[in-house]
Copies of this chain bind each other. A is one copy, B any other.
Amino acid sequence: MNTLSYGLLSLLTKHSRTGYELMQHIQPFWQAKHSQIYPLLAQLEQNGYVEFVHVPQSDKPDKKVYSITKKGKEATSLWIAEPTDEPVVRDELALKVYCISLVDKEHAWRLLAERKEYYLKKKNRLHLLFDKIKEESGKPLEKLEIHDSQFGPYVLVQKAMMKVDADLSWCEWMKKKLS
Contacts and interface: CB of A to CB of B under 8 A. Distances in A.
Interface of A: 3, 6-7, 9-11, 13-14, 26, 28-31, 73, 76-77, 79-81, 84-105, 107-108, 111, 114-115, 118, 145-149, 151-153, 155-156, 158-159, 162-163, 165-167, 169-170, 173-174, 177-178
A133 to B, nearest CB: 11
A150 to B, nearest CB: 8
Contact of A170 (B14, B84, B111, B158): B158
A80 B98 contact: no
What is the interface of chain A mostly: helix, strand, loop, or mixed?
helix
A3 B92 contact: yes
